[in-house]
Amino acid sequence: MNLNEPAKTLESTKKILPIILATSIFMQMLDSTILNTSLPAIAKDLNESPLNMQNAIISYVLTLAVFMPVSGFLSDKFGTKRVFIFSIVLFSAGSLFCSLSQNLMQLVIARVIQGIGGSLMTPVGKLALIKTFPKKELLKAMNFAIIPALIGPVLGPLVGGYMVDYLSWHWIFLINIPIGLIGLLLSLKYMPDYRSNIINFDLKGFLIFGAASLLLSISLELFGNTAHLTPVLLVALSGFFMLYFYYRHANTDDNPIFPLNLFQVRTFRVGILGNLATRLGISSIPLLLPMMIQIAYGQSAVTSGWIVAPMALTAMFGKSVVIGILNKFGYRATLMTNTFIIGLLICCMAIPTINSSIYWYIPIIATLGFFNSIQFTSMNTISIADLRQYHTSSGNSLVSVNQQLAVGFGVAFGLIVLKLFQADVKLIHHEIHNAFRYTFLVVGSLTILSGFIFRRLHFRDGENMKSEEK
């Protein structure tokens, strides 16, 4: 019995760990989007202007961007179990404080607490998953855990709209408490505790990279909320300058927070760049389509939420076939073809006219959800396919930061293109719906072009990730 105990414990951990990670991803992704449809109600209750309520969103996003880089070091020093439990408690406590907020300042502070928890929760959970599963089993485990990343942005506006209409805005935060409690109880028993002997912390590198992430995140928020490009460009250029400063620092430091030799691994390099480029198009759709249905077609927030909801169902189906697709065609062919299909589907959203039924978008968005599921699983797993054990923590943290910034860039890019077309009244013939149609064409075309990045992969890349199941 005693001899078999470690094996039994490992098997139990392998069954439950993907659920624990899925719980944390779902809470974080839901919380990133659920606030969007609730801001007017919160503003009214707190006696604030709806425009000022953007601070409640920005504070959360900026906190994620700043603290994500430190997740790998904290895990190595204090262990994945302690850090994950701390993060899920902090996130749940922040959610409770959000629901109890009596003014905007209290809400912003509570969102910062949430952001610190969220910045550690998902990267640390993912790190534990990577270290627990052998490469051939990791694809299947990651595939299960990544589904909430697809469902969260879709359900967020829908759930938020219903809660505000039929309950109160406080429930959009309180919903995290039972989910967090489930994650906490499971992690207390099943979360493995991985540490590293190398615990030297690159404080200077963290501060430089954190400043770069902060400046780039601020520039993204400004892109979507201002008509003046000069200050936005200055902030963005400052962010890129700090990245260059970090590059100089990492070249001379013995133990940088993100070693530059990570980028000598081709699959990591292509995965990072492909993730960034592809999400420029994909990330803007859950925002642009509901916005168009409400503004151009005059439908309610709940109706627009239901139009987008099929994405979640088809994402589940995509999860069930992605392993077979990758086993048969490999990462290179799958990612190139799949990116092209996603770009084409986004372009198809430009076909319906203002006189068309809004239900024409349902088959397009449902098909998009299926291929998005394949895309995210493939990109996330190829990024870490060939990382050595000593690079796992820093590489995983950098992948998480990159994804966070990529989603932000995607939303900002979609909004700025929309505003440019909206301003050209001759081109859109004074019809706002045409501005959305042209935006879909631009975003879709960019997504198609981003697929060429995956040509840099070798056709045999990712073979060590292929599942043995047929």
**Residue 465 confidence (pLDDT):** 63
- The answer to whether residues 158 and 299 belong to one domain is no
Co-location of 288 and 364 in the same domain = yes
Whether 159 is in a domain gets the answer yes
Q: Which of 158, 185, 201 is the last residue of a domain?
A: 201
Tokens representing 447 are: 């997504």
| Pair 181, 263 in one domain | no
Domain count, the chain: 2
Residue 215 lies in a domain: no
Do 84 and 165 belong together in one domain? yes
Q: Is residue 250 part of a domain?
A: no
394 and 300, same domain (yes or no): yes
Contact (Cβ atoms closer than 8 angstroms) between residue 332 and residue 452: no
Same-domain status, 173 and 285: no
- My answer on whether 412 and 273 are in the same domain is yes
Q: Does the residue 208 lie in any domain?
A: no
Nearest in space to 466 (alpha carbons), one of 360, 338, 295, 328 = 328
235, part of any domain = no
Give domain status of residue 413, yes or no: yes
Mark which of 201, 217, 238 sits at the end of a domain.
201
pLDDT at 145: 72
- Could you tell me if 352 and 289 are in contact, meaning their C-beta atoms sit under 8 angstroms apart? no
Determine the pLDDT at residue 469: 44
Same domain, 380 and 461: yes
Q: What is the pLDDT of residue 5?
A: 39
The number of beta carbons lying within 10 Å of the beta carbon of residue 4 is 8
Residue 361 maps to a domain:
yes
Are 63 and 172 contained in the same domain? Answer: yes
Domain harbouring 302, CATH code: 1.20.1250.20
Are 281 and 194 contained in the same domain? Answer: no
Q: Which residue segment(s) compose the domain that 406 sits in?
A: 258-470
Per-residue pLDDT tens digits of the chain, which is 470 residues long: 333 435 556 677 777 888 888 888 878 777 766 666 666 677 778 887 665 666 677 778 778 877 888 887 788 888 888 999 999 999 999 999 988 888 888 888 998 899 899 888 888 888 888 888 887 777 777 777 766 666 666 666 677 767 766 777 788 788 888 888 988 998 888 888 888 766 677 778 888 888 888 888 777 767 655 556 677 788 888 988 988 888 888 888 777 878 888 888 888 889 889 988 898 888 888 778 877 887 888 887 677 778 877 887 788 787 778 888 888 888 899 999 999 999 999 999 988 888 888 888 899 999 998 998 889 888 888 887 777 776 777 777 788 778 877 877 787 788 778 888 877 767 766 678 888 889 999 999 999 999 999 988 887 877 766 654 43
Which of 158, 177, 201 terminates a domain? The answer is: 201
Give the separation between CA 128 and CA 149, rounded to whole angstroms.
18
How far apart CA 287 and CA 126 sit, in angstroms, is 26
> Per the domain annotation, does 465 fall within a domain?
yes
Could you tell me where the DSSP H helices lie in 79-197? 80-100, 104-132, 135-145, 147-166, 171-174, 176-190
Measured between alpha carbons, how far is 253 from 70 in angstroms, rounded to an integer?
17
| 100-107 contacts at long range (C-beta below 8 A, 24 or more positions apart) | 101/46, 102/46, 103/46, 103/48, 104/46, 104/48, 104/52, 104/53, 104/55, 104/56, 107/42, 107/46, 107/56
Asked whether residue 135 falls in the same domain as residue 273, the answer is no
Q: How far apart are CA 444 and CA 348, in angstroms?
A: 8
Between CA 220 and CA 216 the distance in angstroms is 6
* Residues 295 and 378 reside in one and the same domain: yes
